[in-house]
Amino acid sequence: DAGVTQSPTHLIKTRGQQVTLRCSPKSGHDTVSWYQQALGQGPQFIFQYYEEEERQRGNFPDRFSGHQFPNYSSELNVNALLLGDSALYLCASSFSTEQFFGPGTRLTVL
C-alpha cells in the first residue's frame, strides 16, 4: 500500500515565477491538507481539500491556491513567487483525524 506521494522532490525557481506541486494521498484517504515548513519551524497549515473543495484555509495570501481531483489527488499552486516562499511543502492525507505526511517538495526561490 503506497503512502502519500509528492512530486517533484526538489524545485528551484526565481522570484515572480509560478509553481505547481502535486500530491497523491494514501489509499483510502479522501482529505488532503497542505503545509509549509520553513527551516527550524513547525509545519504551517495552508489549506485543506475535501470532496474537491477547499474546506479550510490558513493565513496564506491568495497567491497560494489549490485543487483536488476526483481521485483525491491534489495540487498546490503558488503564483508570483517570493524569496520567503522557500520552504518544504508538505502534503498530508487523512480519512479521520490522523494525518500522514508525504516526503515533501523542497522549493528554493532565488
Among 89, 98, 109, 97, residue whose Cα is nearest residue 7: 89
Residues that bind other proteins (CB under 8 A): 31, 33, 35, 40-45, 48, 50, 55-56, 58, 90, 94, 97-104, 106
**CB contact set of 40 (below 8 Å; sequence gap of 6+):** none
Whether the Cβ atoms of residue 68 and residue 53 lie closer than 8 Å to each other: yes
Q: How far is the CB of 9 from other proteins (least distance, A)?
A: 11
Q: How far is the CB of 16 from other proteins (least distance, A)?
A: 27
Q: How far is the CB of 77 from other proteins (least distance, A)?
A: 20
